[in-house]
Amino acid sequence: MSTGTLLAIVIPIAVVVVLIAAALALFLRHRALRQRFGPEYERTVDGADSRLAAERELSAREKRHDKLDIKPLPDHLRERYSRDWDHVQHEFVDRPEDAVHDADHLVTSLMQDRGYPTESYDQQLKDLSVEHGRTLEHYRAAHEIDTLSASHKATTEQLRGAMVHYRALFDELLSDGGQTRHAPA
């Protein structure tokens, strides 16, 4: 076989192999992000210009998250938070709006003690989405009701729902739900 004929066979095969490898890599990345972020994956895709843009955003969240020093709580803090939550739940009976505000502050404090930055709600959502994408909708719903209650527009049933929603994320954060990952050394 001449060199030209050999090249005419090898080059197209190499191109096809490279294209298959690239498609496989994109598929595996897509599947890994979907599994990691759960419902947050679809939410991000729906809000982005394209699936590729959404996946870049989710990858950027992962990179930022990997730089955070997320850590489990020591037993004494875990016990204190459990007691504080019990207090907030008891407060709900007499002062539901205050209890919901206190639950929000308690969850934020817990996030901070675990190592999550808490300066902005939107950034909290992005940081939490990496390990807590499956419970993040609870946090959004609770925060929305907390905002309503600040202007006294939330019903008692909505406030009760907010407590349930806060509890879902609280329990996961308290028990180190998700995969606790530390920043590279």
Asked if residue 163 lies in contact with residue 103, where contact means CB atoms within 8 angstroms, the answer is yes
**Most confident region among 32-41, 55-64, 81-90, 133-142 by mean pLDDT:** 81-90
CA dist., res. 152 & res. 108, Å (int): 22
Q: 70-99 pLDDT, tens per residue? A: 999 999 999 999 999 999 999 999 999 999
Q: 89-142 pLDDT, tens per residue? A: 999 999 999 999 999 999 999 999 999 999 899 999 999 999 998 889 999 999
Residue 61: predicted pLDDT: 93
Give me the percent of the chain exceeding a pLDDT of 70. 95
